[in-house]
Structure 1
Amino acid sequence: MFSQASVQAPPFSLLSVHIIRMRNLRQADVLSQSDCYVRLKLPTASFNDARTKTISNSRNPVWNETFYFRIQNMAKSRKRKKSKNLLELKVCDEDSLFRDDQLCTVLFDVAQLRLGETVCRHFELNQQKDEVLEVQFTLEQKLDIPEILATNGVLVSRELSCLEVGVDGRRKKRRRQHFKFTVKASLEDTQNILLGGHARDALPNPMVFHCVKYCNPLLEVKLPRKRSICCSSDKGTVKSLILPFHQLPIGARVEIVNNKEYDVFVTAGNCQKDLDVRLGFDLCPEEKDFICKRKKYVAAALKNVLQLEEDLQDDEVPIVAVMTEAGGARSMTAMYGSILALQKLNLVDCVSYITGLSGTTWTMVNLYEDADWSHKDLEGQINDARKHVMKNKLSCFSGKHLKYYEKEIWQRHLEGHKLSFTDLWGLIIESMFHDEPDPHKLSDQRQAVNLGQNPFPIYLALNVKERYSTLDFKEWVEFTPYEVGLLKYGAFVNAENFGSEFFMGRLMKKIPESRLCFMQGLWSNIFSQNVLDALYLAECSEDFWHRWTRDKVADIDGIPYRRPKRPYVQPTRLFIPSGTLTDVLRDVVMWRPVTAQYHNFMRGLQLNNKYLENDRFSTWKDTVLDSSPNQLSNTAEYLELVDAAFFINTSCPPLLRPERKVDVILHLNYSGGSQTLPLNLATKYYAEQGIPFPKVVLTEEDEKHLKECYLFDKAESPKAPILVYFPLVCDTFQKYKAPGVERSPSEMEDGQTDISSSIFSPYATGMLQYSEDNFNKLVNLTNYNILNNEHLILQALRQAIERKKQQKKLSLFLS
């Protein structure tokens, strides 16, 4: 499944990297000069690092060693089909007692080179001390078989090879013999075969490796140690061998080891099957079909609530979305009140999307268990939620429940899932808000949208990286009943395949889809915040810690080499490792107690040569690693998923994808503390990213005393949606129990709802148990705030329809 057809890439090129010498090399320690060598890494060409010899105790080491890499060509007609080739040159100091020191790394974009030219570069590693690394590059065309690629302009899928490896024993009775096979950067990496014994950890004989066909894969075989009767030494016996894949004929069974005890054989083959990852930024066909069906509901509902005289045409129907914010049980409870009010106003059928994160996903999961929930009385669901919010949560840790948790987690382990504490947290959430285990899965919710009968649900999480705060690295991940995908990369998989093992866009091992309780543990992972994230959300100054924990990267392009004018060519950068103290500090402030780890469905995919120039990638390009293709998420074995509330507490990003064309957003804020901070942070973020969004203007009086609802419809871009903002405030609700209906003196207590940020508030984020009175107050408050501001919602809907009609007239005029 990919949006662009596979294409044949041009012939390959041969990149020659000649490491000449270094001048004025720094001293790695105070005792002696450095014992220097250079390590070369080009993942798109070879998964095996190369290195020079070590020059001991020298400030001016000379190597004069040449290394070769087979890369894709730069033919003009095929530029868009080429992977981004970023060469890493690591200058290291060899240490016989401890781990080798990495002094610095030069990151060189091969796209700087042109076919047929030889360039000598002098990389200034320390300009003040005239520390220079001299390297000569040559790029030559090499005629070869073209490679079939698929790309969406950001990610590239390449051809795969598979290698079957097996061992045949010659004797019926034999001693235990252990064989270890390794193919670096393959899906499997290392596998073992044990003959003559019971090996629980050994894989079947034969076994298969999957790897990128044109990345110089090597099979490393470690054979059993051969016993010697004469002496204890095994000197002279063969214990290991390395075999390049390209030397093997396709489809033929080749014997690579033959002795009196066993034979080792391999069979090479191609692994050409359709992609199982959808590479594309458009909506999936199922969601497009949903929108077509949903417009009929929306058009009829709008005609009714707005009392329109004529039916709306398809291109006049606005896309309306409900966007919720996080807040634990508070947000779960408050969302019931908001949705109930929208239902009373006959506005649910005007809504095409509902997005949630953290606690609001608990409400959404409960709603979508019923395939027709929006057309039924919600009082039954609210009564059920009330019962579970009121119950003592200590019952979730009874002996019966603990045995159930152990059984379920062990089952996930057997199925092949990567276990984390979020799995247990998901089971606890299930026990807190359900009487029985919930068998539903995300893909089951298709039954609730396949006819367009309910709004389309979207759940949100963040993909993060170890030792980075969300300020430096985060990527939006959306979950729908049909697909799971990362907005920045345009990579999506079927919801039922999320968590399975993928490589180079192909499904390699199907793992059963997770139940929704485990997904809720992921979406509302309250254990994933690190110190820098907390400082950012608390409006404290995190600049000091941020400055001292960031990687040190410098642009070292300059004289005598002139930087090319091609915009997609990255400048040469110098990466300087941090010191021991900084490393310790970084470990402290960046440490996340728990992340939810799921197999990375982008694993193995490479970055397109022009990925940084892609408009869709640029929209969400906000991490310090975006210019480092060798370190982005496609290289990781697992996605590290956390609660999206730990960045700016918003579930809006999926609605701002231009493909969804959302016209109106009902922003329901349930966060604790400042009611304007999440909106201000989000607005600032969208402005920095160049994402169309309305101007949010609040006066000083508004900041001191927030109203129940605000309408923001002014924007610099006509593509910006209209925003109807509902902060979680208790304003006129104190005096009115319903719009226009004042409370009697005996009812005044019902309007006193403490929704402050105090830890003593009954709705504090950490509170998971409410009294019946407090539950009812919160539901009634959010219900009232929607009902009391019906006029602003209707005003936004009328404006959206008028905009659609004006756009239609302009389009007809221009055509």
Structure 2
Amino acid sequence: QKQEELEVEFLLENIVSVSADFITYLFQSRELSCLKIHVNETKLKSPCTRKDFTFTMKGSYEEAQVVSIGPCCQWGSSGTTTFHYVKHSQPRLDMTLPKEWFFWGVCFTCGRPLWNMTIHNSQSAVESVELTRPVLIFCPSNKNLDLRLGFDLCAEECDFICKRKKVVAAALKKVLHIAEDLQEDEVPVVAVMTTGGGVRSMTAMLGSLLALQELGVLDCISYISGLSATTWTMAKLYEDANWSQKDLRGPIGDIRQHVIKSKWHCFSLDCMKYYEEELCERKKEGHKVSFTDLWGLFIDCMLHHQASTHRLSDQQVALNEGQNPLPIYLSINVKEDFSTLDFKEWVEFTPYEVGFLKYGSFVRSEDFGSEFFMGRLMKKIPESRICFLEGTWSNIFSTSFMDAVYLSGHSEDFWHRWTQGNEHDIEEDPALPKKPHKQATFVSIPKGCLSNTLRQMMTGRPVVSTYPNFLKGLQLHNKYLENESFCMWKDTVLASSASQLNEMGDYLQLVDTAFFINTSCPPILRPERKVDVILHLNYSGGSQTLPLDLFSKYCLEHGIPFPSTELSQEDREHLKECYVFEDSLEAPVLVYLPLVCDTFQKYKAPNVERSPTEMEQGRVDVSSCAGPFATGLLTYTEENFNKLLNLCSYNILNNKRLILQALQTAVERKK
């Protein structure tokens, strides 16, 4: 076939624009108008006849509404429905009359309908339209947004940091033996970052926190981030508003009892009945129920004696006086027909807010799961219990074939050749000078039916957590590609296609972050948090350096300040218990603690050797994928639980000097 060209001529004309108020940052939010439609039942000829009126307004929050009048309603009552749409957007209202092939339309382009009706102004400055059957009333909508646009920290977190710095300053003075009090601007921000790995990571994190508490370093920490199963540890601890001020051996003992007991009770008839009741109730509340909700209930049953009623926003009580570090839970938003490598968006959860790192858009934690349009809360849905969020954060059922290929260390290029369309840049020699924020022009050649089917098979995920998209209706600013914060987290193949990014979707699809990179570091590295030291606690299975290597590469590609993490081949083959990485003053000091069993084999405590009878307690197989600490295991023996707990505690206690040295470096940098 010959290659053909189609020449198209565009004529640029001026259109009459209407002035409107915009709330803009990276996203633009426009004013909303509210259209109420009232159908008067009193004029119904036959009271025994039911009439269904279907109204449609494309681009509105509701899209389509049905008003029914007749025997299903009390005689004399009226049917009313409402549409919310962008003010001055010139929408079209379509109405289908009951059982009639009659089409009626109203165009709001000039404020006049296409069909004969009268418009008049009422005393309340609300426009109404009188028709024979429906009545249309135009109402002003609230101009204030119910979400927050901007990359700055929310006021609540800023207040927390001010309070926490006082606790941190006192703790640093004690552990570093500083003679003078630290001023507020001299107090470094220290964060603990964890990785996932099932019950292994949950148990290991408890051992690490116990050791940090014994060293007096736990009070030096301002943030703790987690993903996957380390979120179980965090959610469990934050049920107590003063957990870090108490001896952690208490909650550790409680979790130990849950880990060592059989999980068969979670499948009892009583539990199955309870699961069904909870899922039905959740559906009634307005949530979109999925298998991950059942997984969340299973986690709740696995770690509690009775159902937990805690919610994410309840954890604010644990932060009111700055008495604990601020917890950050991490997930990623994905898209259908795209692998996680090709499309993912970091989503952080704190007791204050839930939001996107890339877009700088956040909603209150108690509003997450509710329905939004153009930044306004349209339908309030009760906040989820935290067990359902735990099911989302640790969704082990969300991996696709392409994700498995990536995690195995192989390239996706081979599969892309057969599943992705071809794009060719046609702006090699543009006729006009290119503006910085303008996007390149490509010609896209989509794949055929067979390739699309293969793509769906390769990228399909068994289960994802689905929540209403709180960005729905918002529009990206036309210069969004010039925004530094957006570019920092711009890691999708659709980054230059604004119409295909997340704000257009009705729902978020959240999965476990570990299926991309087993790290919870991204929210810690937000420039606004100004973190000076990161304690990288690695609990992953298999290669201990892979998560660090992948994230270091990610930071390098995206220009995110992060220290060089080069390790010699000798170190990679025989990892030490602790490494400290620091180079640029712009990057935080990184203290890296892999999950290894090194000197613990001979020492039960720093400088305390094991006796011959204690040598068995030092043999902890954390490197074998099929060992007693494999990621898929949900039950440990008490001996293995204690071994892993003691190992992780020892590795921190034995490297006290390096940890305190990193804190000292951060203090000196601040001065």
TM-score category (smaller protein): over 0.9
> Does the 8 A contact of 1:557 with 1:563 survive in 2?
no
Deviation by residue 1:726-758 (Cα, 9 ceiling, x = unmatched): 000000111110011111111111111111242
1:163 counterpart (28, 31, 35): 35
2:571 counterpart (692, 702, 716): 702
SS at 1:136 equivalent: coil
- Give the aligned partner of residue 116 of structure 2: none
RMSD: 1.6
Change (3 A) 1:558 1:691: closer
Q: How many angstroms does 1:550 deviate by? A: 2.4
- Give the aligned partner of residue 48 of structure 2: 174
- Give the aligned partner of residue 241 of structure 1: 104
1:394 counterpart (264, 271, 275): 264
1:131-210 counterparts in 2 under 5 A? 131-140=5-14, 142=16, 144-152=17-25, 154-169=26-41, 170-171=43-44, 173-198=47-72, 205-210=79-84
SS at 1:268 equivalent: strand
Amino acid at match of 1:618: C
1:253 counterpart (128, 149, 158): 128
| Matching of residue 724 in structure 1 with residue 591 in structure 2 | yes
> Does the 8 A contact of 2:195 with 2:226 survive in 1?
yes
1:25-424 counterparts in 2 under 5 A? 129-140=3-14, 142=16, 144-152=17-25, 154-169=26-41, 170-171=43-44, 173-198=47-72, 205-226=79-100, 239-246=102-109, 247-248=111-112, 251-256=126-131, 258=132, 263-424=133-294
Q: How many angstroms does 1:245 deviate by? A: 2.6
Give the number of the structure whose residues are more often strand, by fraction: 1
In structure 2, how many angstroms separate the alpha carbons of the residues matched to 1:613 and 1:206? 45
In structure 1, how many angstroms separate the alpha carbons of the residues matched to 2:411 and 2:163? 49
Amino acid at match of 2:368: F
In structure 2, how many angstroms separate the alpha carbons of the residues matched to 1:396 and 1:439? 18
Q: How many angstroms does 1:271 deviate by? A: 1.6
Amino acid at match of 1:365: A
Change (3 A) 1:719 1:529: same
Q: How many angstroms does 1:179 deviate by? A: 1.4
- Give the aligned partner of residue 516 of structure 2: 647
Question: Could you list the runs of 5+ residues in structure 1 that have no partner in the other structure?
Answer: 1-25, 27-127, 227-237, 806-815
Amino acid at match of 2:555: Y
Q: How many angstroms does 1:542 deviate by? A: 2.5
Question: Could you list the runs of 5+ residues in structure 2 that have no partner in the other structure?
Answer: 113-118
Change (3 A) 1:133 1:429: farther
- Give the aligned partner of residue 629 of structure 2: 763
Q: How many angstroms does 1:555 deviate by? A: 2.5
Amino acid at match of 1:800: A
SS at 1:630 equivalent: helix
> Does the 8 A contact of 2:167 with 2:219 survive in 1?
yes
> Does the 8 A contact of 2:47 with 2:71 survive in 1?
no
The count of residues paired between Structure 1 and Structure 2 equals 654
Amino acid at match of 1:158: R
Q: Which has the higher contact order (CA 8 A, sep 6+)?
A: 2
| Matching of residue 459 in structure 1 with residue 459 in structure 2 | no
Change (3 A) 1:214 1:572: farther
Change (3 A) 1:571 1:775: same
- Give the aligned partner of residue 583 of structure 1: 452
- Give the aligned partner of residue 665 of structure 2: 799
Amino acid at match of 1:803: R
In structure 2, how many angstroms separate the alpha carbons of the residues matched to 1:197 and 1:725? 70
> Does the 8 A contact of 2:31 with 2:143 survive in 1?
no
1:422-501 counterparts in 2 under 5 A? 422-501=292-371
In structure 2, how many angstroms separate the alpha carbons of the residues matched to 1:351 and 1:252? 57
Q: Greater CA deviation, 696-705 or 128-137?
A: 128-137
- Give the aligned partner of residue 76 of structure 1: none
Q: How many angstroms does 1:419 deviate by? A: 1.2
In structure 1, how many angstroms separate the alpha carbons of the residues matched to 2:11 and 2:373? 32
- Give the aligned partner of residue 736 of structure 1: 603
> Does the 8 A contact of 1:183 with 1:217 survive in 2?
yes
Q: How many angstroms does 1:168 deviate by? A: 1.7
Q: Greater CA deviation, 572-581 or 677-686?
A: 572-581
SS at 1:192 equivalent: strand
In structure 2, how many angstroms separate the alpha carbons of the residues matched to 1:522 and 1:804? 38
2:583 counterpart (714, 723, 746): 714
> Does the 8 A contact of 2:287 with 2:381 survive in 1?
yes
Change (3 A) 1:562 1:757: farther
> Does the 8 A contact of 1:532 with 1:546 survive in 2?
no
Amino acid at match of 1:750: Q
- Give the aligned partner of residue 532 of structure 1: 402
- Give the aligned partner of residue 618 of structure 2: 751
| Matching of residue 783 in structure 1 with residue 655 in structure 2 | no
Q: How many angstroms does 1:217 deviate by? A: 1.1
Q: How many angstroms does 1:141 deviate by? A: 5.5
1:633 counterpart (502, 508, 512): 502
In structure 2, how many angstroms separate the alpha carbons of the residues matched to 1:706 and 1:498? 42
Give the number of the structure whose residues are more often helix, by fraction: 2
SS at 1:140 equivalent: coil
Deviation by residue 1:364-383 (Cα, 9 ceiling, x = unmatched): 00111111111101111011
Q: Greater CA deviation, 178-187 or 441-450?
A: 178-187
In structure 1, how many angstroms separate the alpha carbons of the residues matched to 2:393 and 2:78? 36
In structure 2, how many angstroms separate the alpha carbons of the residues matched to 1:466 and 1:659? 31
Deviation by residue 1:652-707 (Cα, 9 ceiling, x = unmatched): 00011100000000000000000000000000000000000000011111111101
In structure 1, how many angstroms separate the alpha carbons of the residues matched to 2:153 and 2:423? 37
In structure 2, how many angstroms separate the alpha carbons of the residues matched to 1:792 and 1:547? 47
In structure 2, how many angstroms separate the alpha carbons of the residues matched to 1:668 and 1:793? 12
SS at 2:338 equivalent: coil
In structure 2, how many angstroms separate the alpha carbons of the residues matched to 1:674 and 1:539? 11
Q: How many angstroms does 1:564 deviate by? A: 3.0
SS at 2:8 equivalent: strand
Q: How many angstroms does 1:509 deviate by? A: 1.0
In structure 2, how many angstroms separate the alpha carbons of the residues matched to 1:348 and 1:512? 34
| Matching of residue 543 in structure 1 with residue 413 in structure 2 | yes
Deviation by residue 1:168-211 (Cα, 9 ceiling, x = unmatched): 23236232222111111211111112222449xxx992010111
The alignment's TM-score, normalised by the length of structure 2, stands at 0.95
Q: How many angstroms does 1:136 deviate by? A: 1.2
Q: How many angstroms does 1:213 deviate by? A: 1.9
- Give the aligned partner of residue 115 of structure 2: none
In structure 1, how many angstroms separate the alpha carbons of the residues matched to 2:586 and 2:428? 41
Change (3 A) 1:762 1:198: farther
Q: Greater CA deviation, 583-592 or 204-213?
A: 204-213
Q: Greater CA deviation, 398-407 or 211-220?
A: 211-220
In structure 1, how many angstroms separate the alpha carbons of the residues matched to 2:13 and 2:554? 41
In structure 2, how many angstroms separate the alpha carbons of the residues matched to 1:243 and 1:526? 49
Amino acid at match of 1:180: T
